[in-house]
Amino acid sequence: MKMRTLLLAASAAALMAAGAAQAREIKIGFIAPKSGGAANLGIQLEKGARLYIKLHAKELGGDTIKLIVRDSKRPGGPIAKAAAQELITREKVELITGIIFSPNAMSIAPLATAAKVPVVIMNAGTSWITKLSPYIARVSFTMWHSGYIMGEHASKKMGCKTAVSGYTNYPPGKDSVAAFKRGFESAGGKVLDAIPMGGPRSVPDFTPFFQRAKDKKPNCLYVFVPAGNHAAAVAKTFDGLGMRKAGIKLIGPGDITQDTQLQKMGSTAVGVVTAHHYYADLPTPTNRAFVKAWKAEYGAGSTPDFIGVQSYDGMAAIFHVIKAAKGKRITAAGAIASLKGWKFDSPRGPIMIDPETRDIVQNVYVSTVMMKGGRLVQDIQRTFTAVKDKCKELKIGKCGK
């Protein structure tokens, strides 16, 4: 070996001995719908994650993140589960994230436990999901964040004494109406009926469900449908059946006025009252800067919505996990330990991962849709700070186990 090569080898060995870590490529599995009826949700989710990576890449020193994206296609579970299996065994990812729809999150949970792979859920709302594996942390929301507060607000501030609820018939829908009922009835209201309205995969004709609700003559109609194409059909059917004229108020979680759907809902959305953890119109400096950065990256006509902010925040959480691993491969126990109590100044307001439940603690806002200058806007009227998942707080059903 020549002298120069020897010297180079010796200095490289010295550097390694001194603990200078080599740059790592960190493989992260990202599961989201990229085709089918929910493809737009997957696109929004990936945009938020990639924006965070782009804006903060330098914080990882020389390390880089490789997002390995897999299409979950449908909400039902099996395709997401197969994707997770492949990401773990073949790609040997260090962490799994993305994930839209509760059944997908539920199907991945046992794999996380068995393979000891940490999972950061970016969009699934059924409260008890975090109970399914000690290696799950959630940065999105639970249906109880919005449902319970909407119930209390409808009874105490909107003069609704009676309500009917309608829900997409799968776990987060059931959770959402249970949360609403608890909040509404504990504040003195009465839920007259709870109407299942088909599954999440396709948008049903809401007419028979809303007619059944109208016949009960409630003061409020509380509706949960998952983000995406359902919302516009909800507002249109509500208007078309003359429910607004009959004096009924349309209320729900912010999923029914998702920011990326709002403008196409037109005047039928005016007056809809929702509770949610994020609106693109939040008038805070952190959110304004976020919306500006989003538009700079994706175009003036593009807007973040709650899904985009959740994946942006989720990637902030993952950066935190990577930094805490100090150049070593991420472990499930290490990742979850570092996420417990993690705090972040999110565009949605301050957030934290509850050290006891691994679920998100966040602000919840109450908003009314208004028309201003030909544009629909979310007018935020109330802010509840540092809201925890009420289902686990009250130990209801599977949340208590």
Nearer to ligand PHB, 33 or 151 (CB): 33
Give the start-end residues of each E strand in 133-202.
136-138, 162-167, 190-196
* Closest CA relative to residue 332, chosen from 70, 121, 96: 96
SS (H, E, C) 10-43: HHHHHHHHCCCCCCCEEEEEEEECCCCCCHHHHH
- Residue 64: which of 318, 347, 400 has the closest Cα? 318
Angle at 253 between CA 41 and CA 394, to 5 degrees: 115
In the complex with ligand PHB, which residue's Cβ is closer, 147 or 226?
A: 226
Is residue 347 within the footprint of ligand PHB (CB under 6 A)? Answer: no
One residue of 126, 127, 165, 219 binding ligand PHB per CB under 6 A: 126
Tokens of 233: 């059909």
Query: Contacting ligand PHB (CB under 6 A), which of 124, 194, 250, 315?
Result: 124
**Which alpha helices (H) appear in 250-388, and where do they start and end?**
259-265, 285-298, 306-324, 332-339
Nearer to ligand PHB, 143 or 322 (CB): 143
Which x/- pattern, by CB under 6 A, does the window 184-223 give for ligand PHB? Answer: ----------------------------------------
Q: How many residues bind ligand PHB (CB under 6 A)?
A: 10
Interaction of residue 172 with ligand PHB, rule CB under 6 A: yes
- CA distance linking residue 77 with residue 102, whole number of Å: 8
Q: CA-to-CA distance for 163 and 76, rounded, in angstroms?
A: 30
CB of 258 to ligand PHB, least distance (A): 7
Amino acid at 8: L
| Interface with ligand PHB, residue 42, by CB under 6 A | no
Nearer to ligand PHB, 155 or 168 (CB): 168
Shortest spacing between CB 135 and ligand PHB, in angstroms: 19
Q: Is 255 in the site for ligand PHB (CB under 6 A)?
A: yes
Q: Considering the complex, what minimum distance in angstroms separates the CB of residue 367 from ligand PHB?
A: 16
| Nearest approach, Cβ of residue 253 and ligand PHB (Å) | 8
Rank residues 118 and 172 by Cβ distance to ligand PHB and give the closer one.
172
Does 362 engage in binding with ligand PHB (CB under 6 A)? no
Q: 76-79 contacts: CB < 8 A, separation 24 or more?
A: 76/101, 76/103, 76/104, 76/201, 77/103, 77/104, 77/106, 77/107, 78/107, 79/104
Kindly tell me which residue out of 226, 252, 308, 349 binds ligand PHB, with binding defined by CB under 6 A. 226
Where does residue 384 rank: exposed (0-12), middle (13-18), buried (19+ CB within 10 A)?
Answer: middle
Among 29, 125, 166, 347, binds ligand PHB (CB under 6 A): 125
Q: Taking CB under 6 A as the criterion, which residues in 90-119 touch ligand PHB?
A: 100-102
Whichever of 29 and 226 has its CB closer to ligand PHB, that residue is: 226
The span of 111-119, 124-132, 284-292, 375-383 binding ligand PHB (CB under 6 A) equals: 124-132
Report in angstroms how near the CB of residue 91 gets to ligand PHB at its nearest.
25
Q: Tell whether residue 227 is a contact of ligand PHB (CB under 6 A).
A: yes
For the CB of residue 83, give the shortest distance to ligand PHB in the complex, in Å.
Answer: 16
Handedness of CA 321, 305, 155, 165 (dihedral sign): negative
- How many C-beta atoms surround the C-beta of residue 107 within 10 A? 22
From the CB of 324, what's the least distance to ligand PHB, in Å? 28
Do residues 335 and 321 make contact, with C-beta atoms less than 8 angstroms apart?
yes
Both tokens assigned to 116: 């000891």
Q: Give least dist CB 33 to ligand PHB, A.
A: 10
Beta carbon nearer to ligand PHB, 26 or 275: 275
Task: Give min distance, CB of 101 to ligand PHB, in A.
Answer: 4
Task: Give the torsion through C-alpha atoms of 74, 76, 79, 84, to 10 deg.
Answer: 110
- Between the two ends of the chain, the Cα-to-Cα distance in Å is 65
Integer Cα distance of 257 and 272 in angstroms: 8
Min dist CB 41 to ligand PHB, Å, is: 7
Residue 349: phi and psi, rounded to 5, are: 120, 180
Q: What residue ranges bind ligand PHB (CB under 6 A)?
A: 100-102, 124-126, 172, 226-227, 255
